[in-house]
Each structure stands twice: as structure tokens, then as C-alpha cells.
Chains A and B, each alone.
Chain A
Amino acid sequence: MFLQLFRYRLKCLLRDRLLIFWTLVFPILLGTFFNMAFMNLNNDEKFEPISAALVTGGGANDAIFEQTVHQMSLGKDRLFNLKTTASKHQADQWLKKGKIKGYFTDGPLIRLYVQETGISQSIMKTFADHYRQNSSAFADIAKANPEAIQKGLLDDLSQQRNSVKEVNTGGAKPNNVLNYFYTLIAMACLYGSFWGNKEVCDTQADLSSRAARLNLAPVHKLKLFLAGCCADLLIIYGEILILLAFLHFILGIDFGTRTGLVLLTAWIGSMLGLTFGTFVSAITRKGENLKFAVLTAVTMAGCFLAGMMIGDMKYLVAEYVPALAWLNPANLLTDAFYSLYYYDSLNRYLINLAMIAVFTIVFGFGTYLMIRRRKYANL
């Protein structure tokens, strides 16, 4: 009996094309738009050799500076893609056309010419500053201790020792664009609430004619409701799996190496979405439009606070209003995916999962209390 109810409910639900659009097609489209808009964001902060020029022939040349600039323009880890010219006018033309970020003029006083302020120009200035600072230190030491010149002062000044080592921040790169996609999965899970809403509307006799018809059937109402919820859950989880597959295999979104836990999170997220929908639908006794409006508004507000529209928002909320971060289901789901990707330890992930489970149980039990043993004097 249960299987029959489940099968028919599944068939009935799959015919709702509008809900399939909002819960499956819309997140996939949004993911595609995100990918197209954000694909270049991280490239912007990546260091690339700076297009620069050196103008030589301006009187007394500084051979060491020229040599240093040329040295820094060689090899894979070079600082500059260097052009050399004897004409300042030529360098100006390159600068105007945007072919170089700036140029140095050689001579007794090294100058830097730029067109705008930016990180490349700042690195160029820092490079020239360091050359001048080394010259100043050389003069200072040589004056106080002339023997230092014989003891390799020049070599020591020209060979910079590496005093910093990089500590690995964990297994994964701090790729902040990923958070947008994690909030998108959270949104898709919470949009699963539309199915939960439909379930309540189709089993509460005062909410739809279909529910009134079902209430006449000689079948236990809890069994009917549970069969429907199982069908809803199967659809939501299937949709989330399709979304995850699309994000990972088509758009190349990284979820880390713990695939099993990612799938588990998607399952718990689907349950959260379903129970959230049944709960809101059960407490809002007014029309279907209002239920949809409440579900959409709560989901979107939650996703906003989890960083869907402004990337920093998740961090700001966690930093300044931590309680809100723990009470926002969208943030818990986003943070679960984020923790799986970013941290080696599972502590934070497990806390998130536990909080999601608590929300699911509260919503599920709340729904049960509100829809059980309903009787209707008239319909």
C-alpha cells in the first residue's frame, strides 16, 4: 500500500513542471550565470610579470641598475616583461597605448613614469626603492667600515636572503568564488521546501480540492503523508545530485576530496529543505501565494546572509553576529560545504551537520504536531 501511494505521488509530483523549473532548472541556470560572471575574478589578483620599459641613454647611465632590471626580467619567475628603448618619447607612447604599466628612466636619479595607480605600479616603485635603499646602505656601511667592501658587502647587498617561508593553509586554495556556488546549493536545498509546501497543501483538506478528495480515502493519514514526503525527498535529493554533478563535472567547481560527506550533506540538506517547507506551509494557513512568498523570502534572506550576493557577508555575519550565522539554515549548509572543502579537520563540519539535523528535527516534529488529527467541520 505504502509503495503504491509512493509511486502515484511520485508520478503526480513529477508532472509539476513549474516546481521542477524552480528547484532544478533555475539553480542550474544561476550556476551557469555565476560561472560566466565570476570565472575571471580570481585571475585578477594573480601575479603576472609586469610589462615595463627601461629608457637608457639619459646621460650618465647606472650600469648596476640596468643589470638588475635585466636580471629581474629573466626566467620563469621574472618580475618584468621588459622592453628597452633609448627614446623617452617611445616609452611615453607605449604607456599611453597601455602596452606597459610604467617605465624607469636611467641616469643619476632613477625615476618611475606611470599613467595610473595600481598594484603593478606599486611593485615597480618598490623595486626601484629597494635599489636605492641598498645603495644608501652600501654608502652608509662603506663610510663607517671601509673594509666591508673587501669582505663582500656588494655581494651581500645584491643577494637577498629569503627570511619568509610559506605555511600551507590546508589542503585547498582559498578560492573565495567557491562560496557563491556553495550558497547556490544551499538555496537549491531550501527551494526543496516548495515540494514540502505542496505536500502539505495536497494533504490538508482545507487547502486544496485534491487534499479533500484524499481525506475521503480509507487510508491512514500519516501513511499517506509519509509516502508523499518520501517521494518529495527522492525528487529533492535527485535534483541536488544533478546540480552537484553539473557544478562539479561541467563547471569544474571543487568540493574537496571527501565525496561521501558531500553527498551526505546534500542528503541532510534535502531533508532540511523538505521539513522547512512542510513546517512553513503548516503554520501559514493562508493562500498558496503567501506560502511561496514566505519560503522564497526566508530562503533568499538566508542566502544573502550566507554570502550569495555579497561574498564578504558570510564572514561579516560570523564575525560580528555569530548567533545569526548558527541560526541561518542557508549559512549552515554553505558552511558545511565550505568546511569540507577548506579544512583538514572535520570539527566545524560536524557542528554544522548537527545544527542542520536539529533544525530538521524541529521542523519535522513541528509539522507533525500541527497537521495531526485535523478535523473539518465543513469544507
Chain B
Amino acid sequence: MPIFKLCLKIFRKNWSSIGVFLVIFVSLSCIFAFSYSQSSLSKGFTQERAKVALISKEKTPLTEGFRMALAKNADFVTLPDQTEKMQDALFFRKVTYILVIPKGFTKDALNDGTMKMEKRVVPGSAENAYIDSIVRQYWHLATVYAAHEPNLSETQIADHVKRDLSTSTPVVMHDQHAASADSNFITGYFNFVAYGLTIVMIVGIAAVFIVLNRQDINRRIICSPIHSISVNLQIFLAIIIFALFCWTGFSGLGIFLNLKNQITAPIGYYLLNSVVFTLCLSSISYLIGNLVSNRQALSAIANVIGLGSAFLSGAFVPQELMNQTVLKIASFTPTYWYVTANNRIAGLGAGNWAETKSILNDMAIVLAFAVAFLILSLVIGKRRRMYA
């Protein structure tokens, strides 16, 4: 099988150009894996917690009571009282609400004064509205107690407010939605793989076709005593082996990185989905290999297709956070359907046939893309051979 051996030789020679990219991909995957912490999937209702920096320039029973009351709905972040540091923390969302209690505020508030606490927030954000209402409620109750029960000391007011704040509305939670895609490392990883696999497959496979389509080599193959069916089968075999090798590497890395997390979704579906996607990428690479003859341009094309499809389809940013028009445009790429299937797998409950059917539909669309690209490549390939 000389053509098959030649293909494998080209793959081997080509590893160095894929190497730099692989190092970047594996490093990013590892960083994501180590920075990922699995959120506990609690069954009941839990209130959101905002990242708050509370800088109090006085220490009174009420400010301490306020700190404790706020702690029920906030994770406190320690920040120095420096404008630039506060601005930085707010810009990068290390904190979403910075509250400064000025000196003398408690006394002023209880005497119906005009002094106000100062907040720095992300303007118009939901967390701002949420924490604002909690902050105002505490001081509202304190001032009402001070106005109507003037004999109470600050400590007593703080106790009364604490007792009032302990009343809570019962919440009934209906059947909980399944874990969203971004709360699940393995889904995030397999979405991210779309980017890695696309570039490696295009650079790896298209490079083989650039060599095979060179006029002298192409003519040499045509005049050799090997049937064209055998030539094609040998090339296909080599592509399948390369694709299998890439798929095993990427999937294996994902499973390895996910060992510390519990898997809530069926891993088999992720693997099946990525196999179908790898097949599709093989035929896309076949097409690109038949269209491009410049080896240097290949890396540019692979990067544009890999990054473009990954960004548009929600491989990097969760689809639910993306613009609907962008997603509509993305639905013309197989990556979109691959990512959609992964997200559906993340929310797959046991024995839910309707959901399973949607996943299989998405995979079928990816497969249809694969067939379409393959037919297109075979037609273009045949035309090239005719004019060789």
C-alpha cells in the first residue's frame, strides 16, 4: 500500500507544524481544568450571593449587625480604600458592589440626617438592584425603630432589626432544570475541542492533499498500475487512522482532566458526538486540501475556520449568552450543531427519549454536513485529476 504509507509519512513529517498549536491547546485545557471548581448541584432554592466589598469607617453595633445581615447574601471581598484598586476590581468583576460607610453615618441615620453611604457599582446591573434593596432595608428598619422607639439603644435597635430580618418567605421549587452547559466541565471541554480538532485536522489532512495534488506526484500516481478505487481507499484509510488518532488524543485528554469531577451526563454521548464531528472535519479537510495548493496559506485558513466557527457557534462562550442572530448565522456550520448536541447532552435526564432524539438529530445534521462536503470534495478532486 504505497499511497497509504506515503500519507502516514506526510502526517509524521507534519507534526512539527501542529506541535505549537497542540502545546497552546493542551496548556489552555489544563488551565481551564485546574481553575474549574464544580458547583454543588443543590436540590433546593438558594439565594444568589453577590461579590461585595464593604469598607466601614466606623464600628458601631449597627454597622456590625449590618455586616452580618449582608453576609447572608454576599461574599465579602477585601479591597483597599484606593480609588484605582476599586475601579480595577469593578471592571474585572472581582466585586460587583463596593459600599463605603462614612464615619458618623450611624448616628446621622438614626437622627434622620442627610448623610449617605457611598456605593460604586456596575451601573444598571441586576446585582446592583439586588444588593441595593438589602442594604436599604437594613437601614430603613433601623431608622424606623429609632424614630418610633427613641429609648432604644443602638445595640437594642440592632437586635430588633436582626429579629425582623430573620423572617423569611417560604420558596417552593418546581422540578429543577438540569445543569446548564457552563456548569459542567466535560461539556465545556468537548465544546472547546471543536476549536482544537478543527485546526489539527485541517492542517494535518489538507497538508497530505497539498502534496498528493502536486502535478508531478499526481501524474505519477495516475500512471501507476494501481486502480483509482484502491488509491482512494488507501487515502481514506490513512485519513481515518489520523482522525482516530486525533480523536483518541483529544477525548482521552478530556476524560483525564475530568477525573476529579463527578460526571453527571452520559460520557458515551459526548464521545459519539465528537466521533461524528471528527468525521465531518475529515471531509472538510479533504475539501480544503483539494482547494488550497499553498502550504503556508493552510495555517491561515485553518486558524480562520477553527477560530471563526468556534467563536460563532458557542464553543468558547455559552450559547445562551450569545446573540440570536449570530447563532442563526452559526447554524450554517457543523460546529454549531456539534456544540448544541453537547449542551443537550449536559441536560440529558435518564430515559428522556425526546431529548435523546434531539441529540441524535443534531448529530444527523453534522453527518449530513460531512456527506455534503465529501461529495463536493470528490467532485472537485475528480475535476483536478481530469485536468492534471
A residues near B (Cβ < 8 Å) are 18, 21-22, 26, 29-30, 33-34, 36-41, 44-48, 79, 92, 95-96, 109-123, 125-130, 132-134, 136-137, 140-141, 144-145, 148, 151, 153, 156-157, 160-167, 169-170, 173-176, 179, 289, 293, 296-297, 300, 304, 309-312, 314-315, 318, 338, 342-343, 345, 348
Contact = CB atoms under 8 A, between A and B. Distances in A.
B311 A36 contact: yes
Contact of A33 (B117, B141, B312, B314): B312
The winner among A126, A127, A164, A173 for most chain B CB atoms within 10 A is A164
Contacts of B177: 115-116
B170 A112 contact: yes
Nearest to B141: A137
B171 A140 contact: no
A44 B48 contact: no
B253 interface: no
B307 A33 contact: yes
A37 B312 contact: yes
Contacts of B176: 115-116
B interface SS class = helix
A129 to B, nearest CB: 5
The winner among A36, A118, A166, A315 for most chain B CB atoms within 10 A is A36
A140 B167 CA distance: 13
B160 A137 contact: yes
Nearest to A114: B173
A118 B183 CA distance: 14
Contacts of B127: 45, 119
B241 interface: no
Given A111-B170, A112-B172, A133-B164, A170 B87 contact: yes
B352 interface: no
Contacts of A296: 20
Nearest to A151: B148
B109 A163 contact: yes
Given A137-B164, A296-B20, A126 B86 contact: no
Contacts of A44: 321
A309 B28 contact: yes
Nearest to B42: A117
Nearest to A167: B118
A125 B44 CA distance: 14
B153 interface: no
Contacts of B169: 110-112, 125, 128-129, 132
14 contacts: A26-B304, A111-B172, A123-B126, A133-B167, A136-B163, A137-B141, A137-B164, A156-B147, A161-B139, A166-B119, A166-B121, A174-B91, A312-B93, A348-B84
A144 B109 CA distance: 22
Given A118-B48, A141-B148, A309-B28, A342 B116 contact: no
B58 interface: no
Contacts of A163: 109, 116-117, 135-136, 139-140, 143
B54 interface: no
Contacts of B116: 162-165
Contact of B91 (A29, A132, A134, A342): A342
A interface SS class = helix
Contact of A141 (B16, B46, B119, B145): B145
B300 interface: yes
A116 B28 CA distance: 32
A325 to B, nearest CB: 11
A122 B120 contact: no
B224 interface: no
Top 10 nearest A-B pairs by Cβ distance? A33-B311, A315-B92, A128-B169, A148-B148, A122-B48, A47-B126, A174-B91, A165-B116, A163-B139, A37-B311
A334 to B, nearest CB: 12
B262 interface: no
Interface string B158-184: 001101110111111111110000000
B134 interface: yes
Nearest to B310: A33
A39 B148 contact: no
Contacts of A156: 144, 147-148
A18 B311 contact: no
A123 B133 contact: yes
A123 B130 contact: yes
B70 to A, nearest CB: 12
Nearest to B31: A310
A29 B303 CA distance: 10
Interface string B110-142: 000000111111111111111011111101110
B94 interface: yes
Nearest to A118: B48
B297 interface: yes
A48 B177 CA distance: 22
B237 to A, nearest CB: 30
Contacts of B148: 141, 145, 148, 151, 153, 156
Contact of A127 (B91, B133, B296): B133
B321 A40 contact: yes
A148 B149 CA distance: 8
Given A37-B316, A121-B45, A123-B133, A114 B311 contact: no
Contact of B144 (A29, A153, A166, A348): A153
Nearest to A148: B148
A113 B170 CA distance: 9
A321 B107 CA distance: 42
Contacts of A144: 149
A37 B24 contact: no
Interface string B1-43: 0000000000000001000100110001001000100000010
